[in-house]
Amino acid sequence: MIRTRYAPSPTGYMHCGNLRTALYEYLIAKSQGGQFVLRIEDTDQSRQVEGAVEVIYETLRLAGLQHDEGPDIGGPYAPYVQSERKNGTGYLNFAQELVAKGKAYYCFCTKERLETLQKEDAAEGAMQYDRHCVSLSKEAVEENLRNGVPYVIRQLIPEGRSSFMDEVYGEISIDNAELDDQVLIKSDGMPTYNFANVVDDHLMDITHVVRGSEYLTSTPKYNLLYDAFGWQIPTYVHLPMVLNENGAKLAKRKGDATFADLLKQGYLPEAVINYCALLGWAPSDNREIFSIAELTEVFDVKGLSKSPSSFDTTKLAWMNGEYFKKMDADVFFEMVKPVLESSVKRAGADMRGLAAMVQSRIRFLHEIPGMLDFIDALPDYDIVLYTHKKMKTNSENSLESLQQCVPVLTDMPDADWNNDALYTRLQKLAEETGVKNGVVLWPVRTALSGKETTPCGASELLELFGKDESLRRIQDGIERLRG
């Protein structure tokens, strides 16, 4: 069975690069009937933020990525928090096994020596440990351990080259001389992120490891550990980077929005997760709108790209609007009802009708107040709005059209005051006066709204305002045009 794991560090936020990784891990597992595991990697205690684990749970819940095992729901491989696995898993025991095999060694270098080495390496452009402790005798090591000298355990990288196959990038081959003797066990006894990853992935039977392409060059270190233990190497899926609009890698510290930030800005969780799915993956057709269930049906790693993807907020905003359009009318109404009630105070206003008007036109809920601000009171507007090149209107023919509309609308029976009947009658007026429909409809819409854009057309606005208010606003338009 395919088993993937999402293993975030509890740092307090999740940007869309993190979320995309979780999504692809979920889809790789679920598209093949596998299992998706959540594991919290808190080996770096200094970076842990209070409440961060709850942020992870909430993000996955809102995104619709239900894990099969995890700290909150348990499972056969518990515990699912690395700090809780320290004693039971025995990371130190595994590292000591590698020492016994000659695949790792104790390092007693002081912090001061390492800092000096780092400065020297930085000046030369290389950042590798110099293996100062690799040749210590067994007796010297044992004496240091007896005396309580602080230490770390480092992986011993062998000579030669390392190669592996990646599902996205194909065969990758790296000279081992480029690899550093990474720390496996830190001086506080905690495993490093990289070492704990390998041990826990093996113990939890993880079959597919999904992560960013920046880890391609370090993957041989992982594989050397698997080989040293005699464990099966997992399938690797390295993902292309997600870049922000400045071309830099997406990151919170650079001011890029997190998933929570996007929700606060008015994006729907479903739209964000749909958009993240297309950041580096393409379906076999040109379709763009998918639910989680639909993504699970069509997802294939063959659709993953090697090229970085750009996070385009304009495209995301468009997608958000598409989700509003597709939303069930009753669900949409319940969502926008508080916004409508705070935006429109007009007595007797048809809130459901207003919801229907804006549903296909908004990208965000916060656009609604500005879209409907003309309903309670006609704004003070410039008559330049009556001039519209496409509609072929100007101040003169707009004044004429409004004057002709007054008797026509006055004579309309109350029983016929509805969108269809009003539109038909205004069309007939245009035909009778020998002008295009827009020459009649545009001035009416402008007089009723005082705005360049409205969520509906002239006849819908007439129905919304009713006869008395409509005629009052049209008369106001006539006076404005007369000057």
Residues involved in catalysis: 252
Q: How far is CA 455 from the centre of its chain?
A: 29
Q: How far is CA 416 from the centre of its chain?
A: 48
Q: How many CB atoms lie within 10 A of CB 435?
A: 17
| Kind of pairing between the strands at 35-38 and 3-6 | parallel
Cα 418 from Cα 258, distance rounded (Å): 46
Q: How far is CA 55 from the centre of its chain?
A: 14
Give helix then strand counts, H and E, for the chain: 19, 11
Q: What does DSSP assign to residue 2?
A: -
Long-range (24+ apart) CB contacts under 8 A made by 266-270 are 266/320, 266/363, 266/364, 266/365, 266/366, 267/316, 267/317, 267/320, 267/364, 268/320, 268/323, 268/324, 269/62, 269/63, 269/64, 270/64, 270/323
Whether residue 27 contacts residue 296, with contact meaning beta carbons closer than 8 Å, is answered with yes
* Angle at 91 (CA atoms; ends 90, 94), nearest 5 degrees: 90
Cα 419 from Cα 176, distance rounded (Å): 75
Cα 6 from Cα 289, distance rounded (Å): 24
Ramachandran quadrant class, 189 (left: phi over 0; alpha: psi -120 to 50; beta: rest)? left
